[in-house]
Each structure stands twice: as structure tokens, then as C-alpha cells.
Structure 1
Amino acid sequence: MTIRHAIWKVGEKPVGLTSSSLVSEQQLEDMIVAAPEILHDQWMLIGRQQDTGFGGRIDLLAIAPDGALILIELKRNKTPREVVAQAIDYATFIEGLESDRIASIYNDFAPGRNLATDFLTRFGQPLDEETLNDSHQIVVVAAAIDASTTRIVRYLNERDIAINILCFQVFANGDERLLSRAWLIDPAETQTNATVTAAREKEPWNGEVYASFGHDEGRLWPEARQYGFISAGGGTWYSNSLNLLNVGDRIWVKAPGHGFVGVGRVKGKSVPASEFKLPTSSGDRPALDVLKGNYHRSLQGDPDRSEYFVPVDWLQTVPIEEAVQEVGMFGNQNTVCKPKTPKWRFTVERLKQRFADYDKS
């Protein structure tokens, strides 16, 4: 299926805008560098025209909040199949990058700047060199993609290869040029696939789900513990993975920077803050009327940036001061993931010893 989109002027008699084009794909690249949110509002650009060392240059390189790298390749004058093959080839270069090389790439892109400092400013959390580049994604940018390439990319994603296509289309509105975009696959799906394929050593998923709950001034673990929920928000990168949860899933919850704080069963699907209610002595009340944490209150009218809540039946929890953390335990900044790594199996085995009521009915 070829990706196509259209824009219409709103009115009693809607009028469709005429398709147009940019001067060149170089212009698109320049626009992305000037406004990276054109690609994704939770990515940070760290490189441009990066030499791979084997006869090619990566158009753009970005980093996600969990330290995953995103390789962005513009179609330019290549056929769709050629650009997909080239992007996969370049991914072999990305996969081997160590933290010092990534910092050097960023310094070439932003001379005089520091990657760790800018990452902290951008995402509000320190850059963990241990998990930096644990995973990566491939994004092919094009004005049009043929059906064959669509099939190839879907096939790869179904086998946990994190690759996606972002189609941009230009429309004329008088003297103005408007830019629209459409993803072939929900970015949350490729984000999930990147997490699945992160480990160098893989094994079948053990059926246990990892969840991250960012305890800070904006989100409070004592409240999640008392009322039975986990939550995430501030952008789709954080909240979309909540949709991976199914009723009955057992989740092991970690508060980054502290350790594992609880295990529970999912009771319902992800719900936006404006619709989530909590039981109180005076009946069910809107969650944001009850909770003292911020939970992105000012963004509750924005479906992309609102906080989202998932109700949880806790099996066992501990106060944040008693969080369980041991050397070698699994950690990830994704809100929800289903790791396929021996490290996750080891972590769950240890947690089952520390949380003796993990399997209570």
C-alpha cells in the first residue's frame, strides 16, 4: 500500500490543496535540522552527514530518551528498495558505536557542546553510558514509497527489526507551501521492536513485563502505590508503550534511580488523565482532583502529551526508600517493554525472591 495523504481547507464546501514539492531533499534535511520535531518531538539530533568509513554517509542521526540511536536516511535519488538496503547497511556501523565515538559525532555536529549535558537538559534525566546505544532504529524519509518497499519494511518489523518509513508531502496554499507527514507504522511499534532487539544475547520472552515509573516531583510513587496505577506522559514516546499492556499482565515496576518498587496485575487499558478516576470515600472522583503530583496537568487537553494511567492490582509493593536494586539487574527508560534477554530473566528470578507475594491471587 503506497502512503498518500491530502489536506483540505475547512468550509461549507471543502477545497483540497494541490500537491507541490520542495526544491530538493536537501531543503527537507535543512528543515529537519532547524526543527527536529518535524521528525519526532521526543528525539534529539546528534549527527549529520556522518561518514560510515565504508563509502557512505548517514544523513541524520538522533537519540531517544532511553539512549537508543535513530538512523535517518533520506531517499534522495535512490529507488525505495535501494534506500532501505543502504539504511540497513549503515545500521551495521551504528550498532558498533561506543559512547566515546557517539560523543565525538555529537561534537562534530554541535562544536563546543557536551552530549551528556545536552541530553540531561533535553530529557531531564542523565545519559546512562552503560545503556547508550543498546538499541537502534532505522527511519527512511521519502516523498513516496512503493508497495514493494512497504511490504519489505512491514516484513522486517514483524520480525522485530526496528525500521519505519516517514513520508513527507508538500501542498500549495497560494504562495505558501505546507508540509505534512505520515508514518507507515506506528512509531510506538518500532520503538518496541528496538527494545526487543537491543540485547546481544536473546532468549524467548519469559512472559514477565517490565514497567518504569518515574518517581519525582511530577509523579509520586506513594500515590501510585496507594491508589493502584502506573502512568506516563509528556509525549507519545513515553505514553504509547502503555498500550502494550493487556489485562492480567504481571508487571514489575522500577523507579529509575531508585530500584524496583512493586509487582502487580494490570486491571485495565491505558486511559488519558482527563478520563481516569480513583475510588475515594465519597465515590469515584477524577484522578487529577485527588492526586497531589503534577502528572502533566497542564497538558491534559493534548492527546499526544497528556499523562495516561493504567489501573493495577498490586500484589506487593515497597516504599521508595526500600526499592530493590542489585548489580546486574535490568533497567530501561521505556515505560513498558517485554525484554528478551538473560539479564531480564535473572532480574525476575531475583525479584521473585525479594517480593514473596508476587503470585498471590
Structure 2
Amino acid sequence: MHVSFGLWRLDGGVRQVSSSVIASEDRLEEILEARPDILGSGDLLRIGRQVVTDYGKRIDLLAMDAQGDLHVIELKKNKTPRDVVAQALEYGFWAQSLSFDAIRDLYAKHNGEADFESAFTDHFEVDVPDTINSAHHLVIVAAGMDTSTAQIVEYVRGYGVPINVLFFQYLRDDEREYLARSWLSNPDLESPTPGGSGAKKQAAWNGQDFYVAVGESRHRNWDDMRRYGFVSAGHGDKYRKAMLNLFEGARVWAAIPSIGYVGVGEVEATAVPVTAFDVEVEGTSIPILEVPLRTENISEDADDPAMTEYLVRVRWIDTRSRDRAVWEKGMYANQNVVTKLRHSHTLQQLAKAFDVDE
């Protein structure tokens, strides 16, 4: 299938703008990298260009939309149409299993070690979704495609494979240059497919409940948090920012990753550096760094505001030890330190397990 574009200039008479060949597909790739919105897939955050997969292949452009879905964009270049379709499917197989940490590492690698979560928030002006990469989109960019290959694309699309072809044509008018585009299948008119982004809706948040991942390490320990009334994270800007999301009066559900939920409490004061956090011992307020702790290095980097541990004071309503953690299949878990807990099944089960009202 070949898509032909016609463009006519009307000022000074009617004159057709001639179609031409762009100097190099590298230039088109650079244009799309700088302005991925030209693709017509909505606003996109570029993860990287020439991203190497686990199989040693290179994806021309990898991007993400505001819903956390990945977009794999592949230019046809010198590959035959059938080859580029097969390669796009291989890329999709690889992309579907990318974890949050893998995406964060890819972003850092291709953007000068920049922080993925900060870039996402700055770009879209919203927090990173609780779940990312639950769907992906494969986009082949080409000047044309034979009918047989187009039929293959339409066939696999009919079975829910999220692939589409975007046709670009380059046109010149004296010193002016133009790009025209057209989809093989109009994405605005298609029905959502099972598991696709159109089927993904987040439940409304109740404005109160937060999931807090208690990532135990040499910097923090659940026993200390439980005994002295706090949750904490630090040693990186994104962890500090995560703690700052917890406001006074919020309800936190503490969970030890890979173990389960171990506590629920109400935030009494917002995050402060470890050097500014006091605890009460036998009626006396004492800096936490002067009391016995299970953790070994909570004071590490205490003199560095960007790297120190940040503590949020919590009045525990109900807690339990690790061996009595609450967990069952289907409960909410997340790789982020702090996320809004809006999963109704999890909230219902936790309300039954802990001493709180639903």
C-alpha cells in the first residue's frame, strides 16, 4: 500500500507543492525525537533514541504517554516492509516486560542520568501513574507499504496486537519544507482492545489513603518505625519528594515489599530530615539519633539535605510483625515509595485485617 499526499499552494494562483525525498531518515528520526507529538499519538515523553534491547537490536525511538503506556517507534529505513513488521513485533515482546526500574534505568542512560519520575512530572504535570507499562503501542513510520504487508498488519491488529503504521511524506516549496502524515488505521476511530490503553481506567482516589513501601535496608528498619512512630525514605531526591507527598491527616498503609502490609496509621507531621526528628522516650523528647535503633546507618549523609533520610511522623493505629504481615493474591503493590492507594479490593481486605473502619 502506498499513500500519496497532495498539497496545493493557493496564494498567487493554484500551484501544487512537489513531493520530494527527505535528505536522510536520520533527520526524520531527529525531528520525531524533538517533537514526538508530530506522530499524532498525543503528548509523549521520550525515553530514548536507539535503545538497545536484550536481544541486541536497536529501537529507533522509545517514548511514554501520560497514562504510563510505552510507544515503540520504528522507522522503516532500508528494511523491507515485512522485515520491519516482524522487528516491531519483536520489540513489542521485549517492551511488554519492562519493569519500572528498567524503564527508569533506560531513561537515565539516554538522558544524562536524569531522574525519570521528575522528568515525567515536569513533562505531563502529573505524578507517575501507580502502574506503568500495562499497555504498549507499536508504530511503524514509513513512506509507503505494499498491500500484502498492510494486510498482515491489519490481521494481527484484529487479534489485539497494538501495531499501526504511520505514513509520512516530505514536500518542498522553494525554501519551505513540509511533512504530511496519515495512519494506516485511524487510532481515533478504533475501539479499545482488551488490555489496551482505552480499557484502562484508574479508580477515583478517596483523598486519604496512601501506600508506603517500607524498603528495609541499612538505612531503615520496620521495627524502628513501629516502635518510634514514623515511616522514612531517603538517599536520593525522588525518595525525599516521595516522603513530602504525605500530608498531615493522611492515612498510610505500610507494606514491606515481597512480604505484605504491616501497619496502618495517621500522619501527624510532614517529612523532616533525620537530624530534625525527635521521639518521646519515658515522657522526654529525644533526637532519634540518640535512641537505640535496629538500623545501622540511618544517620548516613545526615549533613546532606539531598541525600539524608527523611522521616514522617505517624500515629500507628494498628501494626504487626513481619511474620504476621497481611497479603493475598490480587492485593495492591507498587515499586514506588509512596503512591495513592485507590484499589478498592485491597482497602476492603485491609480494613478487615486491621483495626480500622473501612
- C-alpha contact (below 8 Å) 2:2/2:143 kept by paired residues: no
Q: What letter is aligned with 1:183?
A: W
Q: What letter is aligned with 1:28?
A: L
- C-alpha contact (below 8 Å) 2:107/2:113 kept by paired residues: no
- TM-score under structure 2 length normalisation: 0.54
Q: Residues 10 and 197 of structure 1: is their aligned pair in 2 closer, same or farther, counting only changes over 3 Å?
A: same
Q: What letter is aligned with 1:150?
A: A
SS in 1 for 2:171: strand
Equivalent residue runs for 1:8-19 within 5 Å: 8-11=8-11, 13-19=13-19
Q: How far apart in 2 are the matches of 1:189 and 1:71?
A: 21
Partner of 1:206: none
SS in 2 for 1:26: helix
SS in 2 for 1:134: coil
Partner of 1:145: 145
Q: What letter is aligned with 2:47?
A: I
Aligned-residue RMSD, C-alpha: 3.1
How many matched pairs? 216
Q: What letter is aligned with 1:39?
A: L
Q: How far apart in 1 are the matches of 2:331 and 2:186?
A: 30
Unaligned runs of 5+ in 1: 200-208, 213-253, 260-326, 331-342, 351-361
Q: What letter is aligned with 2:104?
A: A
Partner of 1:275: none
Q: Residues 127 and 139 of structure 1: is their aligned pair in 2 closer, same or farther, counting only changes over 3 Å?
A: same
User: What do the CA deviations read for 1:269-310 (whole angstroms, capped 9, x no partner)?
Assistant: xxxxxxxxxxxxxxxxxxxxxxxxxxxxxxxxxxxxxxxxxx
Partner of 2:133: 133
Q: What letter is aligned with 1:172?
A: R
1:12 to partner: Cα distance: 7.9
1:80 to partner: Cα distance: 0.8
SS in 2 for 1:187: coil
Partner of 2:69: 68
1:162 to partner: Cα distance: 0.7
1:148 to partner: Cα distance: 1.6
User: What do the CA deviations read for 1:305-358 (whole angstroms, capped 9, x no partner)?
Assistant: xxxxxxxxxxxxxxxxxxxxxx9699xxxxxxxxxxxx99x89xx9xxxxxxxx
SS in 1 for 2:192: helix
Equivalent residue runs for 1:300-319 within 5 Å: none
State, as a whole percentage, how many aligned pairs show the same letter. 34
1:106 to partner: Cα distance: 0.5
1:101 to partner: Cα distance: 0.8
Q: Residues 142 and 110 of structure 1: is their aligned pair in 2 closer, same or farther, counting only changes over 3 Å?
A: same
Asked whether 1:109 is paired with 2:58, we answer no
Q: How far apart in 1 are the matches of 2:68 and 2:100?
A: 10
1:46 to partner: Cα distance: 0.7
Q: Residues 155 and 258 of structure 1: is their aligned pair in 2 closer, same or farther, counting only changes over 3 Å?
A: farther
1:13 to partner: Cα distance: 4.7
- C-alpha contact (below 8 Å) 2:66/2:124 kept by paired residues: yes
Q: What letter is aligned with 1:153?
A: V
Q: Residues 255 and 10 of structure 1: is their aligned pair in 2 closer, same or farther, counting only changes over 3 Å?
A: farther
1:124 to partner: Cα distance: 2.2
Q: How far apart in 2 are the matches of 1:210 and 1:156?
A: 21
Partner of 1:30: 30
Partner of 2:98: 97
Q: How far apart in 2 are the matches of 1:110 and 1:94?
A: 19
- C-alpha contact (below 8 Å) 1:164/1:190 kept by paired residues: no
User: What do the CA deviations read for 1:153-187 (whole angstroms, capped 9, x no partner)?
Assistant: 12222221111111110111012221111111222
- C-alpha contact (below 8 Å) 2:98/2:133 kept by paired residues: yes
- C-alpha contact (below 8 Å) 2:142/2:165 kept by paired residues: yes
1:69 to partner: Cα distance: 0.5
1:70 to partner: Cα distance: 0.7
Q: How far apart in 1 are the matches of 2:140 and 2:154?
A: 13
1:43 to partner: Cα distance: 1.3
Partner of 1:355: none
Equivalent residue runs for 1:1-361 within 5 Å: 1-11=1-11, 13-40=13-40, 41-128=42-129, 130-188=130-188, 192-193=192-193, 196-197=194-195, 254-255=203-204, 258=207
Unaligned runs of 5+ in 2: 209-328, 333-342, 350-358
SS in 2 for 1:132: coil
1:50 to partner: Cα distance: 1.1
Q: What letter is aligned with 2:83?
A: E
Q: Residues 211 and 165 of structure 1: is their aligned pair in 2 closer, same or farther, counting only changes over 3 Å?
A: same
- TM-score under structure 1 length normalisation: 0.54
Q: How far apart in 2 are the matches of 1:93 and 1:84?
A: 14
Runs of 4+ in structure 1 deviating by more than 6 angstroms, as ranges, are none
1:126 to partner: Cα distance: 1.1
Q: Residues 89 and 22 of structure 1: is their aligned pair in 2 closer, same or farther, counting only changes over 3 Å?
A: same
User: What do the CA deviations read for 1:173-207 (whole angstroms, capped 9, x no partner)?
Assistant: 012221111111222467933xx2359xxxxxxxx
Q: Residues 58 and 6 of structure 1: is their aligned pair in 2 closer, same or farther, counting only changes over 3 Å?
A: same
- C-alpha contact (below 8 Å) 1:157/1:190 kept by paired residues: no
Q: What letter is aligned with 1:197?
A: G
Q: Residues 256 and 160 of structure 1: is their aligned pair in 2 closer, same or farther, counting only changes over 3 Å?
A: farther
